[in-house]
Amino acid sequence: ADQFWNATPAEMEAVVSAMLERKAAGEGPPSRPDIAKLQEMFPDG
């Protein structure tokens, strides 16, 4: 948990980009479909 909360914005972007199978970080913020995919992968509760 500490790794998550201590991550820099660049580190978080790299992780999200990898999870969404983007070719490179820096493609802009996640779209609504991207966010829905992440929510499916990691549901709350």
* pLDDT digits 0-9 by tens, 2-44: 888 999 998 988 888 888 888 777 777 888 998 999 899 989 8
* Residues 30, 17: Cα–Cα separation, whole Å: 9
pLDDT of residue 27: 74
* Residues 38, 19: Cα–Cα separation, whole Å: 8
- pLDDT of 1 strictly over 80: no
At residue 45 the predicted structure's pLDDT band, cuts being 50, 70 and 90, is: low
* Residues 17, 33: Cα–Cα separation, whole Å: 13
